[in-house]
């Protein structure tokens, strides 16, 4: 069990973030052991041929053990670009890079992969360059082409869990994030292979959903970023599937497109995300959403630079 101990200041400094580098790192890990990830099969068919290009990143992600924290520190804002994250890897402290590489090598049970990790540790400055280049290639080949879909999933997860955090604090949020999480006397308890504890001491905590980390979770407390907890995003089982087909009666009442949109909006989504998921133009989706909103079936709310729509209680009842 891993324990993250909060002060009153930490309770006010919990936030959500998305890391493109972290998603890429976890996607590479899935390629190493794809049998555990049947929900990603449509993506795996396209991504698996690229696996031989990411041997170093695979070597540094033991199936049970330590992944170097300099490869994906918690981002400073809600989302950072891949270029920013790769620049952080290339400028990581060489001493810290070497320590992290050796720690990962010690946990690596496959001899050939352990040798790769140890070789990287011999020249940490070259290692950070090689690893940044390999992570950038992995982003371009197996994550960036699917990023709009992945980003939709992560945004929906954050919107859902942010509401829980606002309504009931960390006590109500903890178990909703992951059934391995629990809240006890100001401490976030996490079932983990490491028995340890960490005092946040006012830094706060970054909560980071991932599409590829299931069935695991991860904790980052030793790197250059803020302390972070990574958990599996909600809805990964439906990530690569088409939106559910609405009931025939709902289609007859509202029309096929409006019925499908209403059915999809159990969780908040933007016009752009809905257009992508349903294969419609943004202007067409916007027109349908306006009709559903005027009928009292949807409610909009602004989230940073976009407007998200969600079913109202009346919309829930109709569905």
Cβ neighbours, 10 Å, residue 238: 12
pTM assigned to the model: 0.81
The 3-state secondary structure of 218-260, one letter per residue? EEECCCCCCCEEEEECCCHHHCCCCCCCCCHHHHHHHCHHHHH
Residues with Cβ within 8 Å of 200's Cβ and at least 6 positions away in sequence, in order, are: 4, 5, 6, 7, 10, 227
Contact of 257 with 251, CB cutoff 8 Å: no
Paired residues of 300 in beta bridges: 309
Domains and CATH numbers, the chain: 2-190+198-236 (no CATH), 242-318 (1.10.10.10)
pLDDT in tens, 46-67: 999 999 999 999 999 998 889 9
Nearest-10 crossing angle of helices 82-90, 124-138: 160
- For 8, other C-beta atoms within 10 Å of its C-beta total 8
Q: What is the structure's pLDDT at 36? A: 80
Position 76 pLDDT exceeds 80: no
Higher pLDDT, 130 or 238: 130
Tens-digit pLDDT profile for residues 241-272 = 777 788 899 999 999 999 999 998 988 889 98
CB 30 within 8 A of CB 212: yes
Say which residues have a Cβ less than 8 Å from residue 32's Cβ, sequence separation at least 6: 51, 58, 61, 63
Beta strand 79-80 with 14-16 is unpaired
Average pLDDT, the chain: 90
């Amino acid at each position: 069990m891993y324990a993250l101990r909060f002060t009153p200041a930490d309770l006010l400094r919990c936030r959500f973030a998305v890391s493109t580098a972290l998603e890429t790192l976890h996607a590479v890990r899935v390629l190493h052991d794809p049998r555990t990830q049947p929900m990603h099969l449509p993506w795996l068919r396209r991504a698996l041929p690229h696996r031989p290009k990411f041997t170093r990143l695979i070597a540094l992600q033991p199936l049970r053990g330590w992944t170097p924290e300099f490869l994906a520190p918690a981002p400073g804002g809600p989302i950072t670009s891949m270029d920013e994250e790769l620049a952080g890897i290339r400028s990581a402290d060489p001493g810290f890079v070497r320590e992290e590489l050796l720690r990962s090598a010690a946990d690596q049970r496959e001899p050939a992969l352990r040798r790769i990790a140890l070789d990287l540790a011999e020249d940490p400055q070259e290692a950070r360059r090689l690893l940044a280049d390999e992570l950038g290639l992995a982003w371009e080949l197996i994550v960036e082409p699917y990023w709009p879909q992945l980003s939709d999933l992560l945004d929906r997860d954050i919107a859902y869990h942010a509401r829980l955090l606002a309504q009931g604090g960390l006590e109500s949020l903890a178990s909703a994030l992951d059934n391995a999480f629990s809240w006890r006397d100001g401490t976030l308890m996490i079932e983990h292979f490491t028995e340890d504890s960490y005092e946040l001491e006012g830094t706060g905590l970054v909560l980071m959903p991932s599409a590829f980390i299931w069935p695991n979770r991860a904790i980052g407390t030793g790197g250059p970023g803020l302390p972070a907890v990574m958990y599996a995003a909600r809805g990964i089982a439906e990530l690569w599937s088409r939106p559910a087909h609405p009931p025939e009666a709902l289609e007859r009442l509202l029309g096929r497109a409006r019925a499908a949109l209403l059915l999809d909006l159990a969780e908040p989504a933007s016009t752009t995300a809905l257009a992508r998921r349903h294969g419609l133009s943004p202007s067409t989706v916007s027109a349908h959403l306006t009709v559903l909103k005027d009928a009292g079936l949807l409610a909009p709310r602004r989230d940073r630079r976009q407007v998200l729509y969600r079913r109202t209680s009346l919309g829930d009842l109709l569905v």
